[in-house]
Amino acid sequence: MILKDIIDVIEEWAPVENAEDFDNVGLLVGDPKQNVNKALITIDTLENVIDEAIENKCDLIISFHPIIFNGLKKLTQETYVERVVQKAILNGINIYSVHTNLDNHLEGVNYQISKRLSLSNTEILIKKNNLEIGMGMIGELNTGLNELDFLNYLKEKMDITAIKHSSFLNKKIRKVALLGGSGSFAIEKAIENDADCFITADLKYHDYFKAENKILLVDIGHYESEQYTKNLILNLLNKKIPKFACIISKTKTNPVNYF
């Protein structure tokens, strides 16, 4: 298939104009006129992901996080970003990123989390001008759980082993707000919406004080909160372009380890 045709399908689903201003989405490496045969879907594009693409004869990588974020002034072997871009070019591999335009999607990153937690009555937490797009999601559990049971439920459903959280408030968790990736900016919005809990990632020390004994703040990890985005992209392409070969990367790209 021509790469431009695949890009059109992705961007009809997650328009680039819905991405945040700071972001860098779209085709980052490659030629939209090139014919491509197989895509590798990943959260991050690292050197070992390029190797995986080569091994699996993939000439397109669709990545959630953009490998080029702050711009490049040179292409040497000095940084992992430069090495990835150079290796992709030398091996004829295109790299496309869909990031905050998928964060802002009604059935995007946060929808995936809400589905895994079986939340009902879901809606966008921070709505943009268009009420159909925005950051985060809020919904309800069918049955309220005490805080410890809820954290165990969360670990099971998201397949995670470690959680950081604010102090327990000794109340049932029923209304749940969430925002995949770095979401400390939405704490106040979760409280404003009377959420019992706010699930996100990358909370700093002082962020936990913002709970103000009103909400349980839960940090499940950045990669962990976004890990199922790969399936979301795969399902879209399988539905819209069933004859185009796509596989999910098996390479672990989470840079955080737990002991």
Q: Per-residue pLDDT averaged across 196-217, rounded?
A: 98
Tell me the H-state helices in the chain.
3-13, 47-55, 80-90, 100-103, 109-116, 147-158, 187-192, 222-226, 229-240
pLDDT of residue 223: 97
pLDDT of residue 245: 97
Q: Is pLDDT at 193 greater than 80 in this prediction?
A: yes
Q: What pLDDT band is residue 70 in, cutting at 50, 70 and 90?
A: confident
SS3 97: strand
Give 142-172 pLDDT, tens digit per residue: 999 999 999 999 999 999 999 999 999 999 9
Q: What pLDDT band is residue 101 in, cutting at 50, 70 and 90?
A: very high
Q: What pLDDT band is residue 71 in, cutting at 50, 70 and 90?
A: confident
SS3 242: coil
pLDDT of residue 131: 77
Averaged pLDDT score across all residues of the chain = 96
Q: Is pLDDT at 31 greater than 80 in this prediction?
A: yes
SS3 194: coil
Are 246 and 238 contacting, i.e. CB atoms less than 8 angstroms apart? yes
Q: Which domains are present in the chain?
A: 3-102 (3.40.1390.30), 104-225 (3.40.1390.30)
Smallest CA-to-CA distance from 93 within 4, 6, 26, 30 is with 30
Q: Per-residue pLDDT averaged across 77-84, rounded?
A: 95
Give 107-139 pLDDT, tens digit per residue: 999 999 999 999 999 999 999 987 789 999 999
Q: Taking the model in full, what pTM does it have?
A: 0.95
